[in-house]
Amino acid sequence: MRIALLGGTGDIGEGLALRFTRDTSHEILIGSRDPEKARDAVADYEAALEDHTDSVDIKGFVNEMAADRADVVVCSVPPYHVGDTVDAVADSLDSDTVLVTPAVGMKGDEDGLHYHPPSAGSVTELVAERAPDEVPVVGAFHNLAAGALADLETELDLDTLVVADDEAARDTVLNLAGELEGLRALAAGPLANAAEVESVTPLVINIAKYNDDMHDVGVKWV
């Protein structure tokens, strides 16, 4: 399978690129608005993977081209770029492409971070609104600490929640996420349930802030 990571030079993109490359045989396409930046990131990721796997299959592209070649497109850009990024790659998506969104809207104050969804109800639903109608949208990878994800020395023992209206697309992402070592993927229902899933992200950041030794904390549903 070909997996495009749009904004794949950012922190969540980096972690997913490294772990999908190490733990699976899927082909990884790093997308960026600047293809030169994508290729620089690929060189960094190849270096980081050198001691972890013999087979590295990552390439760098401009976002549109990465999306065009992929079976699964992960829109791993900051929440305020999500809408524009989906618009930019819309012509590269079709009913056979699964569009995955991990972004979360948050607003900070002195107390920590609060959930701050767009008017669509959640960033996941915003992506579904902006994507072409025939493209199945799946929310996943929302609550993973970027630092832990990108550090291959860190053994994960975490869950990720998957929301989708399209069952086949949901199952594709449940299976794909479950291929990452130490990550369990659980279904959380349709896109309408995305807000509660996204809300966990500011919560884990606040838990990290208010407790000792819980930097990069994540979540297990037990």
Q: How far is the CB of 132 from its own copies (least distance, A)?
A: 23
Q: How many residues belong to the site for its own copies (CB under 8 A)?
A: 35
Of the residues 134, 157, 167, 181, which one makes contact with its own copies according to CB under 8 A: 157
DSSP state of 156: P
Taking CA atoms, 42 is separated from 7, 26, 27, 149, 163, in Å, by 12, 15, 12, 17, 29
E strands, 110-168, are 112-115, 137-139, 158-164
Nearer to its own copies by Cβ, of 28 and 204: the residue is 204
Nearer to its own copies by Cβ, of 10 and 218: the residue is 218
Q: Alpha-carbon torsion 86, 68, 61, 140, what sign?
A: positive
Contact 28, 57 (CB under 8 A): yes
Of the residues 54, 111, 133, 153, which one makes contact with its own copies according to CB under 8 A: 111
Q: How far is the CB of 209 from its own copies (least distance, A)?
A: 7
Write out the binding residues for its own copies, residues 163-202 only, by CB under 8 A. 186-190, 192-193, 195-197, 199-200, 202
The answer to the question of residue 146 lying near its own copies (CB under 8 A) is no
The answer to the question of residue 211 lying near its own copies (CB under 8 A) is yes
Neighbours of 156 (CB within 10 A): 20
Contact 83, 126 (CB under 8 A): yes
The answer to the question of residue 209 lying near its own copies (CB under 8 A) is yes
Q: For residue 178, which amino acid is it?
A: G
- Burial class from Cβ neighbours inside 10 Å (0-12, 13-18, 19+) for residue 30 reads buried
97 closest CA partner among 169, 47, 147: 169
Of the residues 54, 109, 133, 153, which one makes contact with its own copies according to CB under 8 A: 109
Nearer to its own copies by Cβ, of 88 and 187: the residue is 187
Nearer to its own copies by Cβ, of 95 and 211: the residue is 211
Neighbours of 193 (CB within 10 A): 17
Nearer to its own copies by Cβ, of 53 and 193: the residue is 193
Of the residues 26, 37, 81, 114, which one makes contact with its own copies according to CB under 8 A: 114
Contact 202, 112 (CB under 8 A): yes
Nearer to its own copies by Cβ, of 8 and 218: the residue is 218
Binding site residues, its own copies, CB under 8 A:
109, 111-112, 114-115, 157-158, 161, 186-190, 192-193, 195-197, 199-200, 202-204, 206-207, 209-211, 214, 217-222
